[in-house]
Structure 1
Amino acid sequence: MIIDITIANFRSIKEKQTISLCAESTPRHLKNNIAFPGDGKIGVLKSCGVYGANASGKSNLLLAFEALRYIICRSGDLKDGDEIPCYEPFKLSASEPLKPVEFEIEFFGPDARRFLYAVSFDSNSIITESLDFYPGRIKANLFKREEGDSWQDIKFGTHYKGGKKRVACFRNNSYLSKAGNSADASEVIQGIYNYFRKDIFHLGAGQQVAMFDWKDDSEIVQKISKLLCHIDTGIVEVEFKDSEFDDGGIDFSSSVPEPLRKKILKDRRRKAYFSHKDQNGGVVKFTEEMESSGTVKLFNTLPLLLEAFEYGGVLLLDELDNSFHPHVVEFLISLFNSSEVNTNNAQLIFTTHNINLMSPNLLRRDQIWFVEKENGASLFHSLDEYDKSKVKSNSPFRKWYEEGRFGAIPRINKEKISEILRHGAS
């Protein structure tokens, strides 16, 4: 589970911004929304919603998770001299040179142990990197890579036990990525590497699931069929079949491996068919293109939902409200907050414009975050930061947000816009 993440100099996020999912106050309010992993001393929120105007930086928070996953899981594949593709610094400070991107994440990882990972990097190299964990109340270091260190200079703490420590890596490879994908590395390092590789799922607006080959898993397909039947989609069954597909038009580069070519062609052939009952009791099959955008999005979200609940993963959903009925969205959030359904402490972090979700009956104050821009830079703050004597657990969050009390709403110059529409831009 994610406890908090700190981001600096990434896309629209300039100065350090920390988004915390640590439940520090009013533990009795909506207590089922809190999990207590590890030794049970730290409460962690099961869900978190981020509000803000368009282009405020909501999506950049989720993209920061994706960039961090790249550093941890894929930077080890970079060849010497390759640029790090997720280096996207804040670019609106024209007078300042481009600085490193910085990430720091605290989380409960494998075996519910608490870790703290920090990394900074530019377009060419990992500048600093460290991993700490908490064997008790006091933090202990596992490894540390300081500016200018080569792989031979990385320092290891006394708690780093088992497996090979020193793993050769280029300056653009994170140690965690290189060592985590090595069979002779420590089980702890391998466990963290696989946690970020397998248990954190990001679905951007308009994206489809591409994390794993769920379409060939009959059990998952059957579960999705049953779930869609009970969400008033009119669907009675989902099945995948190979359709006619002319692959002659795909011009593969010579560098594309044969197994990848076969997978791409297989995915292009495999099509989903949704069965609906007709008025005479028969069955009519629809293709994905014939279904509503809401049904298609739900169809692409459910595999990640099942995966997160089964393994206790973290699900990152951009524009959760897009194409979904408000009741469906509210129900999805309630599933994560449910102690009966969410037995493995899965987490949902989502962005939204749906103010109906901003209800004290669904979300706690510390589960609601806002983002707005100041001089082009995104700033995050939680509803829990407001005076608790004035903003209480049962306050009308939605109404006060609409009134602008919490910020993070679009600034619309209605007079100027009306003037342009009446008389033109001149």
Structure 2
Amino acid sequence: MLIEFSVGNYRSFKEQVTFSMVAANLVAKDKKLDENNIFEIDDDLKLLKSAAIYGANASGKSNLATALGFMRWFMINSSKETQSTEKIGIERFKLSTETEDKPSFFEIVFLINGKRYRYGFEATIEKVVSEWLFDVPKIKETRLFERKLNKISVSKRFKADGIQQKTRHNALFLSVSAQFNVRIAQKILDWLTNRVALISTLNDIGYRGYTVSCLMDNENKDEIFQLLKKLDLGFSDVKVEESEITADSLPKELPDELKNLILKNVEGKLSSVQTIHQKFDGKGSLVSTEIFNLDEQESEGTKKVFALAGPLVDTLKNSKVLIVDEFDARIHPLISRAIVELFNSNETNPNNAQLIFMTHDTNLLNNKLFRRDQIWFTEKNRYGATDLYSLAEYNVSNDASFESDYIQGRYGAIPYIGNLNHLINFHG
């Protein structure tokens, strides 16, 4: 389970933002929201099942997902995917002279098998400046390891003595420890690899392939099909067919040189998705079915929902964390709402999976769908840095119209558009 994620510049709290899935101490308008939308870890900790992040274009919503994606990749791969001379892929904040040369700060708090961990690091493009890992075995937080440049202090429980000398300046000690079979490090990276997924719905290729593989392997096939059917996409069945990769099977718009390169270097089979539609006669009687090619004959929205279906079902069934950027792109608001409701329900989400998404869809800003602590906003301040804050920080009633108030600018995080009346000179 994800608890919190923080990102910023060199421990400067005015330059840091923290996103939290910890339920605030508030009472929602409808008691069902409290019963369904949150779940209890212990007497002191309750977590949210879903959260939505709103903000104007270029306000930093996607940057939050990008930062978490980089942190996840660097934790998993820094010991094996980088060389000693390589730069670290830090994206520095360039709009402040105070922070432009300072390390970037990343920290994540999470639960694995009921135990809380807090892990983080600071890094420049040249080196890891600091790194730390704490856990809470009982009540008080205890240190598993702590790093200051090349000096790494390790507790006996972490069982990683001797690995300090094997850790490069541009690699994380946690990542190196996992490579050398340190059990706690392996457990954390396994959680990141297999239990946390980040996807951008502007690019369907990666997770669409996951949905296809599930259908081919009969993994979650029935649940995926039922989800697609209940979302009313207009087809009655889905089939996946495999064929040998030939010049004719590749997209027609590809240049011949690229086709030849693919045929030369790629081995295996090509998967195509077909949707089955019912065909009726003039009297409205069903007479047959028609096969459509998903890529060529279905809408962009249908292709997106198909691609999302596999990750959604997998996340719900296996109590994972799914983070979706541009959640509302190319799908109907009612489908977006239906997906959120799948997570905000004890019936369809009994394993307490978590959904976090970035969106512009104000139809979801509804006090019957979300508690106030499930709604977050990003806004650029006057210095170009992102502020991140929750609706729970505002003194508003639970029955307020969240959508109307947001559009009117009460919570900020909207574009302030200037007067466009004289934008074009028609008399020049």
Give me the TM-score of the superposition, normalised by structure 1: 0.87
Please give the alpha-carbon distance, in whole angstroms, between the structure 2 residues aligned to 1:194 and 1:131.
16
Q: Which amino acid aligns with 1:127?
A: V
| 2:403 aligns with one of 398, 405, 410 | 398
Residue matched to 2:142: 140
Report the Cα distance in structure 1 between the residues aligned to 2:157 and 2:114, rounded to whole angstroms. Answer: 17
**Residue 203, structure 1, aligned to residue 206, structure 2:** no
- String of CA shifts for 1:39-80, please: whole Å, max 9, x gaps: 453011111101111111111111111011011111122121
CA contact (8 A) 1:226 1:237 kept: no
The letter of the residue matching 1:101 is: S
* Aligned counterpart for 1:75 among listed residues 73, 78, 94: 78
Does 2:189 correspond to 1:193? yes
Residue identity in the other structure for 1:271: S
- The structure whose residues are more often strand, as a share, is 2
Q: Does 1:385 align with 2:393?
A: yes
Q: For residues 181 and 197 of structure 1, do their structure 2 counterparts lie closer, same or farther at Cα, with a shift above 3 Å needed?
A: farther
Q: Aligned letter for 1:120?
A: E
**Structure-2 separation of matches of 1:140 and 1:357:** 40
Q: Is 1:308 aligned to 2:305, yes or no?
A: no
1:226 positional shift: 2.6
Structure 1 equivalent of residue 52 of structure 2: 49
Corresponding residue for 1:35?
Answer: 39
Which residue is equivalent to 1:24?
24
Match status 1:407 vs 2:412: yes
| CA deviations over 1:308-336 (Å, ceiling 9, x no partner) | 11221111111212222111111111111
Provide the C-alpha distance between the structure 2 equivalents of 1:365 and 1:104, rounded to a whole number of angstroms: 24
Q: Does the C-alpha gap of structure 1 residues 170 and 353 become closer, same or farther in structure 2, counting only changes over 3 Å?
A: same
> Which one-letter code corresponds to 2:393 in the other structure?
E
* Paired residue type of 2:310: P
Q: Say if 2:234 is the partner of 1:234.
A: yes
Aligned residues: 399
Aligned residues of 2:220 and 2:314 also touching (Cα < 8 A): no
Map of 2:110 onto structure 1: 107
CA distance in 2, matches of 1:345, 1:266: 38
Q: Which ranges of structure 1 fall in alignment gaps of 5 or more residues?
A: none
Q: In the alignment, residue 177 of structure 2 is paired with which amino acid?
A: A
Distance in 1 separating the partners of 2:162 and 2:353: 31
The whole-number CA distance in structure 2 between the counterparts of 1:310 and 1:251 is 41
Q: What's the Cα RMSD here?
A: 2.6
- 2:253 is matched with none
Partner of 2:276: 275
Q: Which amino acid aligns with 2:387?
A: L
* 1:91 is aligned to 2:94: yes
Could you say if the C-alpha distance between residues 61 and 14 of structure 1 is closer, same or farther in structure 2, counting changes exceeding 3 Å? Answer: farther
Equivalent residues of 1:222, 1:238 under 8 A apart = no
Give, as a single letter, the amino acid of the residue that structure 1 aligns with 2:275: F
- Counterpart-to-counterpart distance in 1, 2:304 and 2:331: 8
Query: Structure 2 length as normaliser, TM-score?
Result: 0.86
Distance in 1, Cα, partners of 2:148 & 2:53: 34
Judge conservation of contact 1:126–1:174 (CA < 8 Å) in 2.
yes
